[in-house]
Structure 1
Amino acid sequence: VQDTVTAGSIASDQTICNGEDPAEFTSTTAGNGSGTLSYRWESNTNLTAPSWNVISGVNSATYDAPVLTATTQYRRTTISTENGVACESVPTAVVTVTVQDTVTAGGIGSDQTICQGGDPAMFTSTTAGNGSGTLSYRWESNTNLTTPSWNVISGANSATYDAPSLTATTQYRRTTISTENGVACESVPTAVVTVTVQDTVTAGSIASDQTICNGEDPAEFTSTTAGNGSGTLSYRWESNTNLTAPSWNVISGVNSATYDAPVLTATTQYRRTTISTENGVACESVPTAVVTVTVQDTVT
């Protein structure tokens, strides 16, 4: 009569990310029997109504399971063979490998264009990330559009992110992290969102102070230095006749680099602002230095 065959024990429950390879199951306590020992390993993926399947070719005390995409249970039975008679233990306690659901990134929206030094609108979560654990997020930024080098944004772990003021075009992306039983699994990053930061718009300069007789037409104001910006350029011209407390008025319909003022009867100042429009967003320079047309009093 063979000794009672004992199962021993195997270790241990694990949680892994979808598509990962669990750690090898060790034999924490050896099975025992009076004959020659071997083992049978079984697996089950039906946690509600278990249906155990023998794992072919596995008969040692330990077992290294393959990559898994679904939560799977394992158990081991010890077999003692003496004089050709095989006696079995009860199975070990079940070891469960919990496989987290595939973590999805969701989506963030959307590309923006801002002026130099501007503050982009907060990035919203257009589609939530998803996973079977507790969700958190990692935000990253990149300013190298040729050879991206992504940097983690410290302290940003919510679904949305409000970026600071920017002076260079910057890309952003978000990764969803699902944590279950202390194991963190990550999605692929979201599609990249780019905040295009326009170059600083420069005013250039216009020429030049003039003195004319009352009722005369000043010479056209030329563009001595062109305004500059990364978008499509246009201009706004303004005039002012209050030399003590200036009140600037936009000159309607004038948007070119030069301006031919009308006949004047009072001393008038002029200035030009450069406007750079990119992706529908208009950014402005400071105004040029003021040009003054001094109009002499009527000579009697």
Structure 2
Amino acid sequence: MNEETRAHVVRSGGDQKIYFRERFWDDGMVRLLGREYNAMIVSSCYTAQEGGIRCFSCHNMHQEQDDGRPVDAWANDQLKPATVSDSACTQCHQAATYQATSPTHHLAESSGSRCYNCHMPHTAYGLLKSVRSHHIDRPTVAAELASGRPNACNLCHLDQTLQWTSDYLSHWYGTPAVELSPDQQNVSAAVLWILTGDAGQRALAAVSMGRDAARDASGDDWMAPFLARLLEDPYVAVRYCAGRSLRKIDQFSNVEYDHVAPAEQRAAVAAGVLRTWSETTRTETGTRAATLVDPAGNLLQGVLERLGAQRDDTSVNLAE
């Protein structure tokens, strides 16, 4: 441990476990904004060869003059125009190999075929949003079980289980199967993050529910009860992210919610959201068992409460 790190540990109260938990997942991957470089330099895309990927392979300090995007669109990630697609990766990897559907098993023009959505998922948190991991790797369920770090597949397919992901990764890529609990086999991974995860996992789930690609893949007719639950979360940041994503759902686009309002006001809004959702006729609910919605469109309240009682209330202070 160098002197700078030791000084940070001292400011964290001297507990190394707390220091690292507030900055890294249990497998050492970065879990907060501001350490993208630390993550990138241990990736094989950086270390494999001289002239491998660098910050400026994808990013610009200033927007290019011929970049037709609005400045706020560029500023979101400060990406070069070409690297909004897979061009950053195909600087080294053969483009023809990855332009077919066979490597990704997704439609070629879909978000599921973009390299970075599988290999650089949004597993870091900062500034009230999720940020792409810059430790470039492959999605596995085993890594999530070992570290708590959400996997790329379920960050998009929010309505699917870890078992579903494990089965597809095994079938498509020969990834070794893993042993999962009954809940991990039958309950959506995102639902488990919300009901049983720590505050960082809950924030990532809330943000993901507002991402267009994830909503397209998962549908949003089942999300409101879980976002409503997060409107009463103990953490202000989680509540803010949940409220923002809730407004992405058409019927709640105008919901009035203040994430720093008194608890009774927040509870009233959450109850109203749940009531509105319950009174709405939902379609295709028979396919939503993993999201704790029965074929009649009702919540499996007993399972929800059982899992909610297992919420990880470990104190989380992600040190941005």
Q: Give the TM-score category using the shorter length.
A: under 0.3
* TM-score between both structures, scaled by the size of structure 2: 0.14
Structure that is richer in strand per residue: 1
Structure that is richer in helix per residue: 2
**Bigger Cα Rg:** 1
